[in-house]
């Protein structure tokens, strides 16, 4: 099956939308809302805007403290993003293309931050009293996480009907056997 060019275009459009939205929100946080200077803006009892500089990747893993480490991290994450882009371009299933586009758009947003500032701007603080189920994050992080979760759910719950893998496919095959035997 040849990848559908329409899926590619939709994926590129969604990745672009995620990237632009992420950069616009970060601009608002640093510019008009002056979150860096203010530190925290209380929104509701379980959500604040809280300024944070993430010098690493997910959960501050691989923290880049020097300029050399920063650019190495930019290079590493750029290679990973390029791999996601190639995967998205070659992917045949629409749901996977759209999930990969969330990952790609988010990754590009964070790469631009790291190249521009030396860190990723984080601002979303979800909490329940003192309990924080997540580190402070941003829109790009949320899109990356959603894209990965969608890919995992599709891989484990739906499977690939073309290759005959996954619980949905096995159930369909069993039903087909029953129909043939009748």
Number of other residues whose CB lies within 10 A of the CB of residue 65: 10
Q: 139-153 vs 94-117: helix axis angle to the nearest 10?
A: 150
From the list 22, 96, 122, 125, the catalytic residue is: 122
Whole-number Å distance between alpha carbons of 29 and 123? 8
Q: Does residue 23 form part of some domain?
A: yes
Q: CA 109 from chain center: how many Å?
A: 10
Does residue 154 come out as left (phi exceeding 0), alpha (psi in the -120 to 50 range) or beta?
alpha
Q: Does residue 128 form part of some domain?
A: yes
Whole-number Å distance between alpha carbons of 75 and 57? 13
At residue 180, does pLDDT exceed 60? Answer: no
Sequence-ordered list of residues with C-beta below 8 angstroms from that of 180, at least 6 positions apart, any chain: none
Q: Does residue 178 form part of some domain?
A: no
Q: Does residue 176 form part of some domain?
A: no
Decide the pairing of beta strands 47-54 and 40-44. antiparallel
Q: Does residue 164 form part of some domain?
A: no
Q: Does residue 173 form part of some domain?
A: no
Is 141 assigned a catalytic role?
A: yes
pLDDT tens, position by position, 91-113:
989 999 999 999 999 999 999 99
Domain extent at residue 69: 5-159
Count of the separate structural domains present in the chain: 1
State the pLDDT confidence band at 129, using cuts at 50, 70 and 90: confident
pTM (two decimals): 0.81
Whole-number Å distance between alpha carbons of 3 and 10? 12
Q: Does residue 175 form part of some domain?
A: no
At residue 170, does pLDDT exceed 80? Answer: no
pLDDT at 56: 75
From the list 141, 160, 168, 177, the catalytic residue is: 141
Q: Does residue 165 form part of some domain?
A: no
Does residue 131 come out as left (phi exceeding 0), alpha (psi in the -120 to 50 range) or beta?
beta
> What are the distances in angstroms from CA 131 to CA 43, 46, 58, 123?
17, 10, 19, 17
pLDDT tens, position by position, 11-55:
999 999 999 999 999 999 999 999 999 999 999 999 999 999 998
């Amino acid at each position: 099956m040849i990848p559908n060019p329409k899926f590619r275009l939709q994926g590129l459009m969604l990745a672009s939308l995620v990237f632009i939205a992420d950069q616009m929100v970060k601009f608002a946080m640093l510019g008009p809302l002056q979150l860096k200077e203010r530190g925290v803006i209380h929104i509701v009892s379980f959500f604040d805007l809280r300024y944070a500089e993430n010098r690493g990747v997910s959960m501050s893993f691989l923290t880049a403290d020097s300029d050399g480490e920063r650019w190495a991290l930019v290079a590493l994450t750029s290679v990973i993003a390029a791999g996601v882009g190639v995967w998205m371009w070659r992917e045949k299933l629409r749901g996977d293309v759209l999930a990969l586009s969330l990952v790609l758009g988010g990754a590009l947003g964070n790469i631009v931050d790291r190249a521009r500032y030396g860190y990723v701007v984080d601002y979303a603080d979800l909490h329940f009293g003192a309990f924080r189920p997540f580190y402070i994050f941003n829109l790009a992080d949320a899109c990356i996480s959603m894209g990965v979760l969608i890919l995992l759910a599709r891989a484990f719950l739906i499977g690939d009907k073309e290759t005959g893998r996954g619980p949905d496919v096995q159930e369909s095959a069993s039903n087909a056997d029953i129909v043939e035997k009748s």
